[in-house]
Structure 1
Amino acid sequence: MNLSLFDQFASPIFLGIPLIAIALLIPTLLLPSPNNRWINNRILTIQTWLISSITKQIFLPVNIPGHKWALMLMSLLLYLMTINLLGLLPYTFTPTTQLSMNMGFAVPLWLATVIIGLRNQPTAALGHLLPEGTPTPLIPALVIIETISLFIRPLALGVRLTANLTAGHLLIQLIAMAAYALLSMAPVVSALVVLVLFLLTLLEIAVAMIQAYVFVLLLSLYLQENV
């Protein structure tokens, strides 16, 4: 039972090609690209409005030098959101359930924010390791604690995204198996379980979008501390 549940998180291979590679490429093909016309279609208009609104919301607390990251972080947001939503379709694979991939996004971006802080304002960046007004006897312990919390940040980013999506996929599969098992024994109960499954799917759609937003939002907050 456990193996059949967790098999969905192993990248399938078809004709020697790992499908995770296809799953990583498809989102870039689905997003419409702008054109040179003055009047775009409705999809591009809605997309532009949403991207503009979310960009303003995320970068509102970020200083002006950090606005250079807007294009990269918004591209990452759209990419993660598309991957998460496509993973809810039947017979698909969700690459963001792999901790290695999420850490591959989190570690370089977090490290870039730290390097920017050490290069542009080394005193302020190192000052985050020791809060102002700390009693002298607590200084060594606080420096160690703050250093550990600094290095845990990328791990927290990757684990949060992986755990939320993995838990949602497992819960959907468990409820779907329960609905199928009850179909012959108790059709009414099975119909109620299917209703719960539908509501859970709506919740997972919201979680897929929110987790991508939280991932990028936390990166912007890390950036704000170092610009």
Structure 2
Amino acid sequence: MALNFFDQFMTPIYLGIPLITLATLMPRVAFLQPTSQWVHGRLTVLQSQFINNATYQLFAPLSLKSHAWALLIISLMTFLITINLLGLLPYTFTPTTQLSFNMAFAIPAWLATVIIGLRTQPTHAFAHLLPESTPPLLIPILIIIETISLFIRPIALGVRLTANLTAGHLLIQLISTAVFTMIHTFPLVAMLTGVLLLLLSILEIAVAMIQAYVFVLLLSLYLQENT
């Protein structure tokens, strides 16, 4: 009986406990709080440099008002990167392949940026719905289009993260299945396919990190428009 390739994206349950809950708690376990005994350790310094560089890249173009969001956005980026990378290990589950899981982060974060813009600078927030020097006949159409594009933003955030990770996991499973199928009949082809699988796994590690960064980068851009 052939297995369904999409079974890997179903939330597994072990002893009545959904593993998506344990996977969500893993980043808190992976990133321990430094103590005075190992505050200058190599791993801690590397982690601090990564977070500092990411914070600078994200918030250097933003206004000072946006810097209050630094802790939230950087924590979200670290959380997503850890979840994505842990999902590449064997016998694990990737929660970010679930659209509902990603939307649970995308919608509240996007909505918060919109509410902040409406509260602090409502004129500037509504000005995004209508470009300058618009002909009067096009004003209703452009307002509708810009409003739709505004509400599509959180959907694009969640779907982008879900689609990229799902596609990578499917490709890895398809190629690995081909390797195990051909290893006895066509060993040379299986070896070449195995090399391709290794390169794809390295690429998927990069994709897991890049997609988490793109997720928070777009959030920072939405924040920049509303502060």
TM-score by length of 1: 0.97
CA RMSD in angstroms comes to 1.3
1:26 CA drift (Å): 1.1
SS at 2:129 equivalent: coil
- Are the aligned partners of 1:32 and 1:44 in contact in 2 as well (CA < 8 Å)? no
Structure 1 Cα separation of the partners of residues 32 and 42 of structure 2 = 11
Structure 2 Cα separation of the partners of residues 122 and 189 of structure 1 = 62
Q: Does 1:34 align with 2:37?
A: no
Go from structure 1 to structure 2 and tell me whether the alpha carbon gap of 1:38 and 1:99 turns closer, same or farther (over 3 Å shift): closer
1:184 CA drift (Å): 1.0
Go from structure 1 to structure 2 and tell me whether the alpha carbon gap of 1:181 and 1:38 turns closer, same or farther (over 3 Å shift): closer
Q: Residue 209 of structure 2 aligns with which residue?
A: 209
Structure 1: gaps spanning 5 or more residues: none
Structure 2 Cα separation of the partners of residues 26 and 224 of structure 1 = 31
Alignment of 1:116-127 (within 5 A): 116-127=116-127
Letter in 1 for 2:135: P
SS at 1:134 equivalent: coil
TM-score by length of 2: 0.97
1:167 CA drift (Å): 0.3
SS at 1:219 equivalent: helix
Structure 2: gaps spanning 5 or more residues: none
SS at 2:61 equivalent: coil
Structure 1 Cα separation of the partners of residues 12 and 35 of structure 2 = 36
1:31 CA drift (Å): 0.8
Q: Does 1:194 align with 2:194?
A: yes
Q: Residue 60 of structure 2 aligns with which residue?
A: 60
Alignment of 1:1-227 (within 5 A): 4-36=4-36, 40-227=40-227
Structure 2 Cα separation of the partners of residues 58 and 3 of structure 1 = 42
SS at 1:88 equivalent: coil
1:34 CA drift (Å): 2.3
Go from structure 1 to structure 2 and tell me whether the alpha carbon gap of 1:82 and 1:134 turns closer, same or farther (over 3 Å shift): same
Deviations 1:104-161 (A, max 9, x none): 0000000000000000000000000000111110000000000000000000000000
1:32 CA drift (Å): 2.7
Which aligned segments of 4 or more residues in structure 1 are displaced greater than 6 angstroms?
none
SS at 2:89 equivalent: coil
